[in-house]
Amino acid sequence: MTELPPVGIGTWENTDPEACANAVQTALEMGYRHVDTADIYGNEEHVGAGIARADVDREAFVLASKAHTQATGLTYDAVIETAEQSLDRLGVDALDLFYVHWPTGEYDAEETLPAFDELVADGLIREVGVSNFTPELVEEAMDVLDAPVFANQVEMHPLLQQAELVAHAQAHDYYLVAYSPLARGDVFEVPELNEIADKHGVSEAQVSLAWLRSKDNVVAIPKATSRAHIEDNYASLDLELDEEDIATIDGIEREDRHLDFEAAPWN
């Protein structure tokens, strides 16, 4: 089975062709082994260019993309078409991980998910993921799919700790992939994180990523475009928070959700 490293490179909103390709190349050559994109990001070709430039074997890293109801749709045929188009844009033969981006719009478990099983059977994708799913929707997907649910990608950071989803992922042995793991920069303004960062002589970004890494079954995909930020996020792998640090962050009682709308499954 595919394994997800604790930190990957996210590419949401990274649509400048050269900046995106350079970020992916830089991350891979630095040691990142998980690259995340989506059809609706409009940057798969740029991600593919970065992959092609990087002096890293394709088999050495996990490549993930997603099918979105507002892009090409989530009917059976649309999912197959989306996957094939993503492979073409990325310039690869297979995706290691392919997600249902949102359980909204055309999403219907009985209609949508069999297409993912078909893609696995045909060797076009290796693992099936879901994104922005509640525990109940994950369990529904598990019931419908022949393949296991490999990952659920959700917003998660010290200001949105997702305790219920973490427990569910651990109980059912799938990955929780944290997007916006730096709360879109808000982690730099949290007193508890400021103190822990000062204590260890590191950035608040590193503290947030190390905290996420401390949770079983949780990995993070911070978005970064500059070499400095890509390096800083990767350096979080060298930071070991102590029990007091983790307890302090666990005790932050905020629920700041950056990506929210009326049709979201938790509303």
H or E element, residue 30: helix 17-30
Tell me the backbone φ, ψ of residue 248, rounded to 5 degrees: -60, -45
Distance set, CA 8 to CA 82, 83, 110, 111, 195 (Å) = 23, 21, 31, 31, 26
SS3 state at 85: helix
**Active-site entry in 32, 41, 107, 179:** 41
41 noted as active-site residue = yes
For the beta sheet containing 175-179, the strands, ordered from the edge strand earlier in sequence to the opposite edge, are 9-10, 34-36, 62-67, 95-100, 125-131, 149-155, 175-179, 218-220
Q: DSSP characters for 208-259?
A: HHHHHHTSTTEEE--B--SHHHHHHHHHGGG----HHHHHHHHT------SS
CB 130 within 8 A of CB 100: yes
CB 128 within 8 A of CB 148: yes
The residues annotated with a catalytic role in the active site are 41
